Amino acid sequence: MEKRPDPVRTEIIRNGLVAITEEMKSNLLRTAYSMIIYEAPDFTVGLFDAEGNTVSIGIGLPMFIRGMSHTVRRMLEHFAEREGKRNVDIGIYPGDVLVTNDAYLTGSHLNHMTFVVPIFADGALVAFSACMAHWADIGGALDGMTKDIYSEGLQVPIIKAWRRGEPNHDYLDFIRMNVRIPERAMGDLNAQVAAVRMGARRFNQLIDRYGLEAVQGGISAIMDHTEARAREQVRAIPDGVYEAESFMDDDGVDAGKRVRIKVKVTVADDQMTIDLTDVAAQVKGFYNSGEAAGKACCQVAFKCLTSPLEKPINEGSFRPLNIILPPGRVVSAVRPSPMRWWMTFPMTIVDTIFKALAPAIPDRVISGHHADLLSAALNGRRPENGRLWLLSGGLIGGGWGAKQGADGSSATICINDGDTHNSPVEQVEAKYPLVIERYGLREDSGGAGTWQGGLGTEKIVRAAADFMFNAQVERVQCRPWGLFGGHPGTGNQVSVRVGPEKELRFPTGKVLARQLQTGDAYILRAGGGGGFGTPLDRPLEKIEDDLHEGYISRKRAEGCYGVVFKGGTNQIDVDATRRRRTDLIDRPIPPDALDPEESAVMSADDEAKLFTRGKSFLARCC
């Protein structure tokens, strides 16, 4: 009879695994060179068993959950295949450091480099320590749309960065030659390697203290426990087939052509199946992602619904989930589809899964959220020395959807990036020729409802030197939806202010290869979250608080919430408001009529001038 793991020791091991991945995160945060790693943080670390199953994840980006496990498994297969062919340097050995940035394998883009260290005990391979992190530059085009993977930068197949403890100088030299700022790339490389080596060392110490059998038995028990918890939550969902669809604005190439996101969720006893067969085919623009990302968005939604607080994040949580995802979809793209902005479409799939299940579990889902990074890609030359600078222009928070019993969160980074922080203004201004004029909440941006959607934000960035501006913003037209009568949140927005002239808003969020000169500014506005429940049921005391805090305007209170004020005051007339709300039940004001319009839409002539200016700037620089 198999010996049952000791529950006390298992709990100690559970906390030990979480502590290891948290220490890996801290190590990387303190040693990385790129601000997008140490401030964002755009990375994830993890421990995996000898078969590549997830043991513990230290989350930065939730969408990396499947990518790292998928990468570790493919590395195992890769070296097993090589061993069968009797190639040089076959197998995986102590001291090896494996690496790849294969976008079709990791599910993301070439900027995400994944390092993996095998962990041995008593001569046997028992686990892996891994880290995937964003490099600001991996070669490729800086400006404009990419239309295949070859224009997006250096592709690194599965190779060894270190062999049996010795650095592979061919690989290191190859990296230095193919990036624009090698000192930063090598700094991030060494930081990642240090983090995964620390993870391996700490895992070996756990084995030394409790024994391999106890650690492996504890991991198995932890996975079984999280599986049981997840199945219990799935059983609480009524059996049935639930479907929903949503749309993305376009792929940046076929302008105005909507991209369909359709999901089907089947619940049967303690099993859930998410079918993405009817999601749009891979697109011409750079919004594709690999299979690992398509599966990860299903896993992120599933974990939110079944075990959001369960730690460590491990394979057991996903055993009750089946995923159907044929190749060639926008979230299972195949070579040579472009992948640079891989992260945008998957998070709307997460929202759409919630939307599908809303009729079955209204108390466990949220309305749509702003679902975009709202990040500008900038590059230019420093005025003082002519050196190149690159910046993924600082992520900004937006509005999350409301849910039953609670308003949505405001100024919060989109679900793809999970633990990513709002970028600090001081860091950006200290390191780049930029001045942040404003970063604040966006009034009236949250969708009205019994529970109101979270507010988006507005960020105004002025150029202290000329630079190229690229924005890849989605969900400008296809706004975050409300549920059960809640209004949609406002869409995302991109604008520019050229010199002293008035602000002009782009009709789309795809603004590529435009030059901004000293004194110009770009403005990013994150959308708000969708509302939940009819606005006419929102308690008046909450509306008073919203008005006092500046979250909504008087116009929004009157138009969406049916509020009547006393005379010229801001005091609510309770009786008159109740009567008006009764009247509005049959003829509510359309939510679109009350959206904030911060700026005039840019004309075709204005757009052409900016484009010509950008082409001229590129010609001078290149």
What pairing do the DSSP bridges indicate for beta strands 97-100 and 112-121? antiparallel
pLDDT tens-digit map of 562-586: 999 998 788 999 999 999 999 888 7
Lowest mean pLDDT among 201-205, 314-318, 427-431, 480-484: 427-431
SS3 state at 455: coil
Is residue 286 within 8 Å of residue 145, measured between CB atoms?
Answer: yes
- Over residues 19-29, mean pLDDT: 96
> Which token pair is 583?
């009247």
What integer pLDDT is reported at residue 259 of this predicted model? 98
> What Å distances lie between residue 426 and 39, 306, 325, 440, CA to CA?
11, 39, 43, 15
Q: What angle do CA 425, 428, 430 make, to 5 degrees?
A: 105
What integer pLDDT is reported at residue 66 of this predicted model? 82
What integer pLDDT is reported at residue 417 of this predicted model? 80
What is the rounded distance in angstroms from the CA atom of residue 62 to the CA atom of residue 80? 29
What integer pLDDT is reported at residue 395 of this predicted model? 80
Give me the half-sphere count of Cα atoms (radius 13 Å) on the Cβ side of residue 601.
Answer: 6
What integer pLDDT is reported at residue 616 of this predicted model? 56
Question: What torsion, rounded to 10 degrees, do the Cα atoms 428, 429, 431, 432 define?
Answer: 90
pLDDT tens-digit map of 492-527: 999 999 987 788 899 999 999 999 999 999 999 999
| More confident site: 477 or 394 | 477
Lowest mean pLDDT among 13-17, 315-319, 617-621: 617-621
pLDDT for 418 beyond 80:
no
What integer pLDDT is reported at residue 502 of this predicted model? 82
What integer pLDDT is reported at residue 609 of this predicted model? 63
Residue 108 dihedral angles phi and psi, to the nearest 5° = -115, -135
* Reported confidence tier of residue 36, pLDDT bands at 50, 70, 90: confident
> Within 10 Å of residue 375's Cβ, how many Cβ atoms?
24
* Reported confidence tier of residue 604, pLDDT bands at 50, 70, 90: low
pLDDT for 592 beyond 80:
no
What integer pLDDT is reported at residue 85 of this predicted model? 57
What is the rounded distance in angstroms from the CA atom of residue 56 to the CA atom of residue 501? 52
What integer pLDDT is reported at residue 601 of this predicted model? 62
> What Å distances lie between residue 218 and 347, 411, 468, CA to CA?
33, 39, 53
pLDDT more than 70, % of the chain:
92
> What Å distances lie between residue 620 and 9, 125, 381, 543, 615, CA to CA?
65, 54, 12, 54, 9
What integer pLDDT is reported at residue 603 of this predicted model? 62
pLDDT tens-digit map of 106-164: 999 999 999 999 999 999 999 999 999 999 899 999 999 999 999 999 999 999 999 99
What integer pLDDT is reported at residue 1 of this predicted model? 37
- Over residues 295-305, mean pLDDT: 95
Residues composing the chain: 622
> What Å distances lie between residue 141 and 59, 66, 145, 179, 281, CA to CA?
29, 28, 9, 11, 25
What integer pLDDT is reported at residue 88 of this predicted model? 52
* Reported confidence tier of residue 322, pLDDT bands at 50, 70, 90: very high
pLDDT for 482 beyond 80:
yes
pLDDT for 277 beyond 60:
yes
- Over residues 383-396, mean pLDDT: 86
> Which token pair is 541?
């005391």
What integer pLDDT is reported at residue 599 of this predicted model? 59
Say what the pTM is: 0.93
What integer pLDDT is reported at residue 304 of this predicted model? 93
SS3 state at 343: coil
pLDDT tens-digit map of 447-471: 999 999 999 999 999 999 999 999 9
pLDDT tens-digit map of 174-225: 999 999 999 999 999 999 999 999 999 999 999 999 999 999 999 999 999 9
What integer pLDDT is reported at residue 605 of this predicted model? 62
What integer pLDDT is reported at residue 572 of this predicted model? 95
pLDDT tens-digit map of 45-73: 999 999 999 999 987 777 888 889 999 99
pLDDT tens-digit map of 229-276: 999 999 999 999 999 999 999 999 999 999 999 999 999 999 999 999
pLDDT tens-digit map of 541-566: 999 999 999 999 999 999 999 999 99
| More confident site: 458 or 90 | 458
What is the rounded distance in angstroms from the CA atom of residue 310 to the CA atom of residue 227? 10
Nearest-Å Rg of the Cα atoms of the chain is 25
What integer pLDDT is reported at residue 621 of this predicted model? 47
